[in-house]
Amino acid sequence: MGSNPDRDPPFFFSKPADAVTQDSVLPFPPQTDNLHPEVELVVAIGSGGTDISPDTALSHIYGYAVGLDMTRRDLQATAKKTGRPWSLAKGFDASCPVSAIKPASHTPALTHSAITLTVNGEIRQSGKIDDMIWSIPEIISALSRSVRLEAGDLIMTGTPAGVSRIVKGDRLDAKCENIGELSLTYI
């Protein structure tokens, strides 16, 4: 999943304190009227390292979850226009809802697993894990060349097409086949 089939390097950012658990009622974030959810497969690291090869990357995984990468798109557009970082657009209170983590040892192959996001019962995003431009081992390897991965790190892996605005009161249901579900409402 992603937008560049020529495989530009993945884009990384961090918002660890902003991860929240499943089935929540969350406050609509301030300073925006253009909030977008991006449904993503989440990889939970079990053992860290640096310079991890794609061949050994899967052995570093503890488990998987489904998550929402929330983005204040209006703040992101302003940051892009002014050449500033996207930090405030991507990192804010409760900006990274994540389902329970399913251990990799209890997870079948994810290759053909569907990932979806519905908003108020309407499908907004739908794709398959094998639509990802970068494989999970490639993502782990690329990230570990830039920063040391630690047990407990969560890596979001990209989103299918269909990202669009939500408003206060919307009910979001994210699902990744063979992994889990996440439901929440913004008030």
Helices then strands (H, E): number in the chain?
A: 3, 13
The domain made up of 34-186 has a fold known as Fumarylacetoacetate hydrolase; domain 2 (3.90.850)
The secondary structure of the chain in percent helix, strand, coil, rounded to multiples of 5, reads 20, 35, 50
| pLDDT for res 173 | 97
Whether the model pTM is above 0.85: yes
| pLDDT for res 94 | 85
CA distance 149 to 137: 13
What are the residue ranges spanned by the domains of the chain? 34-186
| pLDDT for res 72 | 96
Q: Supply φ then ψ for residue 112, to 5 degrees.
A: -105, 10
User: Containing H/E element for 75?
Assistant: helix 73-82
| pLDDT for res 92 | 85
The pLDDT averaged over each successive group of 10 residues in the chain (187 residues) is 56 56 82 97 96 98 96 94 90 89 93 95 97 93 94 93 97 97 94
| pLDDT for res 7 | 56
Q: Which residue has the tokens 């929440």?
A: 184
CA distance 126 to 26: 23
Query: Is 181:173 a contact under the CB 8 Å cutoff?
Result: yes
